[in-house]
Structure 1
Amino acid sequence: MLTIDEIKAKLKAADTCNKQVGREAAVLLPLITINRELHILFQVRSLALRAQPGEICFPGGKIEPSDHDAKAAAIRECTEELGIDESDISVIAALPPVHTPQRTFIFPFLAEISSIEDISINDAEVDSWFTIPVAYLLSHPPLQGYMNITVQPGKGFPIEKIANRDAYEGRIYQMPEYFYEYNDYIIWGLTGRILKHFLDMLEP
């Protein structure tokens, strides 16, 4: 029979809050000062990628077993994708994790980049990069739409055993989506949600 101390030990060993290895990912929301004005750096995914080619995202990617934690993964991915030296990256704080439709999590971290002069993109992953002033984003609220997600029990789901089964067959949920426009760029999806979380924190 398990004791409370054994349960505590198992959860501590799992370190579920600090290290998520599997399909989970981590990203940096990079702040940069340009001409005394605060900007956010974004990157455009390579057109050669199979997943979301040409879409706008933050530096980041999958958390690997070799990463000490989610923050380390976000920093590593940023150095690999943009060629920014780790010494030029200063993590300020963790932002709220984002739950994805695939039932995984993305762990965002707010960071300051001290210099962008030596950016050298990894062409295999990144097509280009750009920045947007924070003041512009705060003064231009996003367009808001909704994505319909239909819940349909899959193979092996014992729908006949649960109460109120009709409420779970073909049920439709609406997920809000936010669209930020800047010049010819459209920022939306998970990146848009992370960005909105951050900007909402700056509002009075």
Structure 2
Amino acid sequence: MTILADDDRFLPDRVFAVAKRRLLPVSEAEGGASEPVINADFKPPRGFRARPAAVLIPIVARDHPTVLMTRRTARLRQHAGQIAFPGGAVDPGDADAAAAALREAEEEIGLDPRLVQPLGRLGPYIAGTGYHITPVVARVEPSFRLLLNPDEVESAFEVPLSFLMTPENHRQGSREWDGTRHFFYEMPYDEHYIWGITAGIIRGLYERLFA
């Protein structure tokens, strides 16, 4: 497990300054034709339609910044027990993807939106489960207190940003289902197995900020 906490790139002021410069504006309509899709190798099947969704990538402004992540409960129909960012479908009442991500984070883990400053977003991630996901990157004050929704979230934890942004920690994994071999990123950290959509979004964040 590689962690480069002393790398100057991961000092808080440097991280947030780079994020503001290199992320897409959070106020523009997501999913424009000119925006690069994170998982550009995804080939949707005929008739595929994706519902708008958003996730929050909460970067906690500690001396060594961390990323706040969750483990979904085992009772959910999709991605049960997996590591994820707070997020979900964009509702008609949401002003934009950032509003949806903030609302979902408050509903799922009790993250106070007053402590969250959206910095920008990544291009979309198109999930085979039928979602057009906009990842919204935000700065989070470390004074937060969480209240987990047990119907959706089993636990929450923090991972050093330096670990997630070190490409040596981005392993290539694969599995076969429906007669096809699928390839994905995996980033095991302690007892947490980060993979699939979440790891793909993390890789997209790395490529946007540090590659």
TM-score, normalisation: structure 1? 0.73
Distance 1:117 1:66 in 2: 26
Tell me what 1:143 maps to: 171
Q: Quick one: structure 1 residues 94 and 120, their matched pair in 2 at CA, closer, same or farther if it must change by over 3 Å? A: same
Alignment equivalent of 2:153, drawn from 126, 130, 140: 126
Distance 2:137 2:194 in 1: 17
AA of the residue aligned to 1:196: R
- The 8 Å contact of residues 163 and 169 in structure 2, kept in 1 or not, is answered as no
Q: Which has the higher contact order (CA 8 A, sep 6+)?
A: 2
Structure-to-structure mapping, 1:55-94, within 5 angstroms:
55-94=82-121
- The 8 Å contact of residues 37 and 133 in structure 1, kept in 2 or not, is answered as yes
- The 8 Å contact of residues 89 and 113 in structure 1, kept in 2 or not, is answered as yes
Distance 2:101 2:165 in 1: 25
- The 8 Å contact of residues 84 and 116 in structure 1, kept in 2 or not, is answered as no
Distance 2:118 2:105 in 1: 12
AA of the residue aligned to 2:52: E
Percent of residue pairs identical: 32
- Residues 13-34 of structure 1, C-alpha deviations (whole Å, 9 max, x = no match): xxx9349xx7321001110033
Structure 1 or 2, whichever has the larger Rg, is: 1
1:112 aligns with 2:147: no
Unaligned ranges ≥5, structure 2: 1-27, 32-49
Helix, strand or coil at the partner of 2:137: strand
AA of the residue aligned to 2:29: C
Unaligned ranges ≥5, structure 1: 1-15, 151-169
Tell me what 1:182 maps to: 189
Distance 1:142 1:116 in 2: 30
Q: Quick one: structure 1 residues 102 and 120, their matched pair in 2 at CA, closer, same or farther if it must change by over 3 Å? A: closer
Structure 1 vs Structure 2 CA RMSD: 2.5
Distance 2:139 2:71 in 1: 19
